[in-house]
Structures are given as structure tokens and as C-alpha cells.
Structure 1
Amino acid sequence: MTTRELHEMTAAALSAGFAARTVSPVDVATALLDRIAAHDGKLNAFCLIDRETSLVQARASAKRWEAGKPLSPLDGVPVAVKDLLLTDGWPTLRGSLTVDASGPWNVDAPAVARLREAGAVLIGKTTTPEFGWKGVTDSPLTGISRNPWNPDKTPGGSSGGSAAALAARFCPLALGTDGGGSIRMPAHFTGTYGLKPSFGRVPAWPLSLFGTLAHVGPMARTVTDAAMLLDIIARPDSRDWYALPPEDGFADGLGDSVRGKRIAFSPRLGWAPVVDPEVEALVALAADRFIELGAHVEAVDPPGGDPTDTFRTLWWVGAATVLKDIPPDQRAMVDPGLRAIAGEGAAIPLADYLAATQARGAYGSAMRQFMEDYDFLLTPSVATPAFDAGQLSPYADDGNAWLGWTPFSYPFNLTQQPAASINCGFTAAGLPVGLQIVGRMFDDRGVLAASRAYERSNPLHERPPPGH
């Protein structure tokens, strides 16, 4: 196969090729590493590449396939790891100049450990804003990451490096984290697929300093690939005391239709102040597509009102927690925006924080009751297409940092429901737009099936960015 064919192949196609011995894990890893070396200088998706270690893993995988003893369907498939997830042998610097690169780095986060057990090839670590605090990807340590669809634009964040790597065909799979939309926002901006699973579905350790808002999930170019990755990373890990009972088979049943499903469509959640007209129009067309697929779609807003103040309180206090152990003489090296919200978070009274946790519970309860009447909720993934790289927001400063353009994502970190972003079209400028599909709590399988039904009807994942 040519190098171009290799970098375009999905994880499912690679797995089938390895089994048929028409594709070699070594050839695939070599082709992708060469591609990263040639093109990532323009995008800055990766903050660490360890070519020889990745090739050692690929050679071991090739021997297992040759012996007919692969460890999993993803044995030999390259996966990028977001640099918030601990990785044995590689530093996890979290986009910060304050983290000691000397380590020790001798333990894997649960999702990374499951990938090793499955024989996946870790292709490198991807960029993140400092400690994952914001919805775009730039940091004092790694600089600005860029969008393959237009390098002048942001890929979103905080899993922006993973999303850019996927869109640029540097890898077929990536791990992301999502504390306020950090999987779904970059999926929207880059035309890729990202799933924030139900909280606890993918074990996480150590617990994020942003608490139970933060999820770990799969990112890919196709729904099937994301489901295959979820099958691996959702396996149990006793270090996470929040973890759900083990479940697998997410890649099974993706042929299920949405015929007869009850779907709520809310283009503004009843309160989002500003939504780009092109985003709104493309998401409305996507909702109509579900009607064509046989679903019952109703325009209705969920209850609970605007949870921005609730999320802001919890996130700002989390930011203060992130910085509290950084020595004062190092704080000048921290992203000024993070320092600003951490300072505000440190000043929030305990009573206000406890009130926010109560408000979160009420909001989550109202949403779960609402979802008793619907299988899924459709919304835009983000209120705007990708904006200029290096900016925190396309809007004037409103004191809410990145929350103004992300009204559709962080509500479902509060509620912990599964939610995915899938490409539903392109603006006149050629920038991707994402449709968010929200499911009932614990129904990750349903969200994947609904995503796959839409993807089959509108296979936009087959369109690469210009020049890629």
C-alpha cells in the first residue's frame, strides 16, 4: 500500500488488514511517524514523539499478528494520548512550565494501561492548554496548536492536539479528556468524532482537580473506530472508585437504526444568547435528517435554565485547586488566564461552592427526568465555527473566559450524561460544524448507535481537510 492509503485507513480497516496480513503494524507506524515529522510543524498537534519506542511496540504487534495471537482488535493500531494522561516512560507535562520533566514517570493512567494491554501502538502525546483549563489549545509550554482545516484557526480544546492529529491523518485514534466540552468542542472544530461517555464509564486516575466534571473518552474520525476504542478503555481499573461496572460490546449493534426513537431538538437550550447562523442552520438540517431516518423529532427545550453560574463556580474553584500547590516563585510561568480565574476561584466563599453543588444536583435531576420522555437530545456542539488561533474567545471579554461560546457542552458535564459531537456540515468558509447527540445517563451504546445512523446517512468523515 502507498503511504497515503495507510494514513487514510480507519482503525477498523487497519485491524482487518493486520488480520489478513495485507498491512503491517510496522509499516503503518512508520508511515504515520514520517507524516507527523513532515507536517506537524504547521499544526503543533504533538508535544512528544518517541519514534523508536513506538516502532518497538509496532514490531511486537507484528509478531503477534503473524503468530495469530493478537491481544485485541486494536493490537498494532496507533493511538495518540493527550498530555493530561499519565504515560509510563513518557513525561506528562500538562502544558505547563511548572511540571518537572524529570519525573518519575513510571505509571499509566487507566486508559493508557488498557491500551498497552490491548497491544495498541502509542504514537505520541498531544498538546493541551495548561492543565486543560480552557476550550482552546495553547500553553506556555507548547505554544499554539492549529486547525488542519485552516491553520489560522484554533482546533479547540482542551483535547485540541488529539483532534488536530486525527483530522490531519496523523493517527486513526486518540484519547481525550472532557471537563467542560474538551472532547466535543475540538471534534466540532475539526470535523472529527468525539464521545464524552457517561461519567465513570472510562476509569480515570488520579481524579482530576476539576473533580467529577472531568471525563475520559475516545476520539476518532469514525463512530465505529470510537466504539472500538471505548471497548478497550472502558475495562475496569480498581484505582477509580467512581468507575461504573464493566461493560463492553460498544462496537456491536452500530447498525441499529433510529427509526421510532423519540428525539428532542433544542437549537439554543432555551437560553444560549448567541449562536452563529451557519451553525444553527446546519444543525437544523441535521435534525431534519433524523426525521428522514424515521425518528420522531420534537423541538423542545430541556428544563433547568442557564447553568453557567453553577459551572463557573465549580470550574473556577477547580482552577484555584490546580494552582494552590504551585510555589509562588513559579506562578509567574502559569498561563495568565488560568492565574486570573484561579484568583477569582480562591475568593469564592465555601457557602457559594456548596450552593453550586446543590444547584448542580437539581439541574442533573431535572435533566434526567426530562430524558425519560426522549431517547436523545440534539443541539449544536459549539455556538461558533473555529475562530482565530491564539484567542480565548471570539467574543468580547464577558468575565466568563471560554464559557460564552460553549453553552452546549458544559451542561452535560454537570449532568454527567453521554454526549457526542459528529460533523454535520461545513460553513461557507469551509470550516466544520458539529451536531451534539446527548443520551440518557448510562446509554453510551445508544449515543454511538444514533451517531452511526447519522454518519451512514451523511458520511462527511470521508472528506479530508485541504492538503491532507
Structure 2
Amino acid sequence: MNGRHDEAYGVERMSNDDLWAKSAGWLADAIRMREVSAREVMAAHLERMECVNGHVNAVVSRFDDASLKAADQADKAVARGEEVGPLHGVPVSVKINLAVAGQVTDEGCLTYADDEPETEDAIAVDRMRDAGAIVNARTNMPDLGMRWNTNNDLHGRTYNAWNPDVSPGGSSGGAAVAVATGMSPLALASDFGGSLTVPAALNGVVSLRPTSGRLAAPAHAAIEGDVAVRLFYTDGVIARSVEDVELAFGTLAGAHPLNPSSADAVRGSAPRRALLIRGLPGTPTDPDVRDGLDCTAKALSDAGFDVVEGALPSLDEASALWQGVTYSEMARGLPPEVMAMFSDETRAWTAAVMAQAPLLDTHEVPGALARRIAIATEWSTLLADSPFIVGPVDPGLAWDRDFDSSGDLRKVAGELHERYKLTIAGTFLGLPTLTLPVSVNSQGLPVAVQLLSWRFTEWQLLHAASLIEKYVATRFTPVDPRIPSSVLG
């Protein structure tokens, strides 16, 4: 698979000559300048998919003929001298809960496997196509996105790009693994409570969860009335660099009449101050995670930021209220026929999650949403002084791949929510969150940090992240997946 071993990190590094290892921005420029054809680029990614997807099961459907035909059309447009979009000819994968015209949106669920194909693209997919990107595959997720792991009865398990014995995360696990292993340079995915952040961190790639409501992405028709979905759901993007995430976000952003909270992108600047969260209350911080946070703080400090350590107001309450609103709505809105759609694993995990959550009665939800405004005011006051929050995605070591399907699931669910409370609180408040790798730990796995800022300040967040990435100066992906004999057998 054309890999070479990097002694510093103990992972496989790719040759720069491999087109599938190039960035989306590099590929778009090379195609536009006719230094390489879109067909060559697409063929390289399809060949890469053939080599590695059998080991990780990140891609669940691929479009070889259609994507190669689209690549030929892209090359003809360049040859005719036409003005082309910023992602012209660049492959992109799409999570299976986002509509792709002509394809079934099965969401990893056997019940939806025989649904009618979609008649049109999701707005995010449509905008990527308008920018010239070519959909080459769809990626795996847990059934209906109900887990921070990726496994389902329809498509099977997705394996972590770095080590198949640990979880790839979820629900956008397939998207993160596909990008991390070079099957596509960009992935469209979604987030409800860490579904972008967690798998990006576990697979050493970069993700952006935009401000909730920022992108035009109407919720699934079956649940569009739910308060939690309307407040917390968003589409987002995964790539191997901050620059590529910025390129994709610039394509996706923009007001749309189907989503009244969506907005055009506005660039701006912010004071160079950051609040460093070195640990989360009640949860030990692994030394390698602490080192990663120190590296991030040093990167920002060297770039002229005033970095101060501190704590976040009402962090535990924000995380608990997200659980209360979300799982209470699930408890009332998941009738037996919906629960029957889940795999046995997902059904057991969902029951465990709801059993440990601080559920709310219907009359308590308005009060929870009022507290959301109050906590948002506390955080916005803090962010007015320190526009960036830097903290861990998970202060502990990576979960094993069966963490949510064995043992005391209620206990595991409680610990999981404790460890992910910063991610969950940011989601509860609708804040933009960018995740990026900064080091590799003693287990040979990526260590990631997350940056949060105030609503609709994605460009500021991207700029700060680019400074960290430049300081770290390490390309963590793409990697060749490691497949031990226990998995191959």
C-alpha cells in the first residue's frame, strides 16, 4: 500500500507521489492547472478504496462508474477553458444519513434498506457538487446515529484507522476512517452531540462542527418536530488539514430559505486570547492528553496569544441538560416499533443511556431551555474576553471497540458522558467546534484537542487552528490501517 514507517510516531506514512494522499486543495489546483486529470485523481481514490476498505469497512457503497464519468466531464470542462469551482474534480464521501440523489438513505438501519431512492441531494451535497466535487462513496454510521461507536446490522462494523482494537467513534465513524485512510480527501457528515468531534479525534483527522443552525440542513422528516434535533443537529465536514476544512466550509456556508437560521459566511478577527481547559471535573487526565494540551498552548502562545488556564461556568449543568432534553425526547418519541428498528446492541445501549440520564418531564423542558440561554450568556461573557476555548476531546485513553456492547452499559454510559462533557456542553450551546490532532500517544494513537468559539465565528476558529497545525508541523494522516491476525481471521 505504498506506506513507509515513521519511527517518530510508529505509524505508516504515505508517499507524496500518491494522488489519494494529497489534500483537497492541492488536487483542485492541480486539476484546474491540468497538471493531473480528474480521472486520474478519481481512479487513484477508487484503487485506494479497493486496497483498504476491506480492512476497515468505512465505505458502504461506492460509485465507480458514475464518479469516473463525472471526472471525465470535469476534465472536459477544464479543457474547454470554463470557469470551475473551488473543488472541481475532488472526490468527497457522504455519510449515509445525508441524501444523495438516486440512493437510499438507510442510516445504517435494516428497516430503511429497501426504501425508495432519494429524488434529490441534501443541501450540503448539492453545494459540494456546485463547487465541482464528485461524490465517490457513502460512509458507515451506527443505526440511526444512536452511538459514539460505528456498528450496525445492515453494513457491519467500522474499524479505527490506526488500531482496529479501539473504537473508531461515531456516529460519523465511517467518514473519519475513510478520510484517515485516504479513500477520500473530504467527507460530509453530521453531528448531534459529538458525532463529528469524537471520530475525528480517534482517527487523527480534522473536523468542524459549525454553529448549530449555521448550515442549511433541514432535519430528517421523521423527527423534524423534535426540539433537540432542531437545536443540536448540524451537518459538518471532515478532512486531513485545517486548510481543507476551511475550503469545504466556505463551500457549504451560506443562507438558505429552508433553514431560517442559516447565514452567509462573514470573516472577522478576534483578540488573541484563549482559555485553556487542562482537565474536566471529576475525570483524570491522561499524561499524553495533558502533553497535547501543553503543545497546543505553546503553539498559540508562540503565535502571540495570551493563554490562560481556567474553568468553564456551569459545565456539568450544560452537559446534564443536553442529556435531559435529548434523552427525555427519545424516551417519549421512540415507540416500540422504532426501538425494534435498532440492532440488539444499539437497543441495549440506548436503554442504558436513557437509564442513567437525568430525564425531564415535559413541563420541565421549557425551564431547561431557559437555563440554556442563561448558561449561554455566562459563556458568551467569558468568550468576549477570551474568544477561544481549548480543551481535550477525551481526557482519557481511547475506548476499546466493544465498549458500548459489553459489561455494565449503564456505568459505561455514565462515564462516557463525564469524559465527553466539554463536547456535549458545546453542542448544548450550539457553539462551533473544531477538532484536530496534535500528537501521538504512547499507545501509538492520535491525541486531539478541540477549539470552541462563539456562535458564527468559524473563520476565527479556523485561523487559530491553522496556527496550531503549523506549529505541530506533522501530517498525521493518511495512514495504512493496521490489521492484526485476530481481525483477519
1:127 aligns to what?
Answer: 140
Q: Aligned match of 1:375 in 383, 387, 407?
A: 387
Residues 400 and 351 of structure 1, relative CA distance in 2, 3 Å threshold: farther
Q: Aligned match of 1:232 in 251, 264, 267?
A: 251
CA distance in 2, matches of 1:318, 1:134: 16
Residues 320 and 123 of structure 1, relative CA distance in 2, 3 Å threshold: farther
State the number of aligned residues: 458
Letter paired with 1:422: L
> TM-score, normalization: structure 1?
0.90
Asked if residue 276 in structure 1 is aligned to residue 295 in structure 2, the reply is no
Q: Is the 8 A contact 2:324 2:359 kept in 1?
A: no
CA positional deviation for 1:411:
0.8
Q: Aligned match of 1:262 in 229, 248, 273?
A: 273
CA distance in 2, matches of 1:226, 1:393: 33
1:220 aligns to what?
Answer: 239
What is the 5 A alignment of 1:184-203?
184-203=197-216
SS of residue in 1 equivalent to 2:390: strand
SS of residue in 1 equivalent to 2:426: helix
Letter paired with 2:450: Q
CA distance in 1, matches of 2:179, 2:331: 32
Q: Is the 8 A contact 1:185 1:381 kept in 2?
A: yes
Q: Aligned match of 1:288 in 290, 298, 309?
A: 298
Letter paired with 2:309: A
Letter paired with 2:453: G
1:247 aligns to what?
Answer: 265
CA positional deviation for 1:408:
2.1
Letter paired with 2:275: A
Residues 443 and 388 of structure 1, relative CA distance in 2, 3 Å threshold: same
CA positional deviation for 1:299:
0.5
CA distance in 1, matches of 2:456, 2:254: 15
CA distance in 2, matches of 1:96, 1:328: 11
What is the 5 A alignment of 1:137-176?
137-176=150-189
Asked if residue 117 in structure 1 is aligned to residue 135 in structure 2, the reply is no
Residues 338 and 65 of structure 1, relative CA distance in 2, 3 Å threshold: farther
2:455 aligns to what?
Answer: 441
The RMSD of aligned alpha carbons is 2.7
1:353 aligns to what?
Answer: 365
1:77 aligns to what?
Answer: 90
1:35 aligns to what?
Answer: 48
Asked if residue 454 in structure 1 is aligned to residue 468 in structure 2, the reply is yes
TM-superposition CA deviations, 1:220-262 (whole Å, max 9, x none): 0011111110111113332223312x226x7xx9xx9x9x611
CA distance in 2, matches of 1:272, 1:369: 25
CA positional deviation for 1:328:
7.3
TM-superposition CA deviations, 1:364-386 (whole Å, max 9, x none): 22111111111211101222343
CA positional deviation for 1:175:
0.9
CA positional deviation for 1:334:
7.8
Letter paired with 2:233: A
Q: Aligned match of 1:315 in 292, 313, 326?
A: 326
SS of residue in 1 equivalent to 2:434: strand
Structure 2: give runs of 5+ residues left out of the alignment: 1-14, 483-489
CA distance in 2, matches of 1:218, 1:55: 23
CA positional deviation for 1:134:
2.0
> TM-score, normalization: structure 2?
0.87
What is the 5 A alignment of 1:87-98?
87-98=100-111
Q: Identity rate of aligned residues, in percent?
A: 26
CA distance in 1, matches of 2:343, 2:197: 31
SS of residue in 2 equivalent to 1:240: coil
Letter paired with 1:281: D
CA distance in 1, matches of 2:62, 2:415: 31
Q: Is the 8 A contact 1:393 1:402 kept in 2?
A: no
Residues 463 and 129 of structure 1, relative CA distance in 2, 3 Å threshold: closer
CA distance in 1, matches of 2:78, 2:468: 33
TM-superposition CA deviations, 1:73-116 (whole Å, max 9, x none): 10110011111111111111111112143314112211011112
TM-superposition CA deviations, 1:250-280 (whole Å, max 9, x none): 7xx9xx9x9x6111111225x2523323212
Residues 461 and 272 of structure 1, relative CA distance in 2, 3 Å threshold: farther
CA distance in 2, matches of 1:71, 1:458: 33
Pick which of 286-295 and 418-427 moved more: 286-295
CA positional deviation for 1:49:
1.1
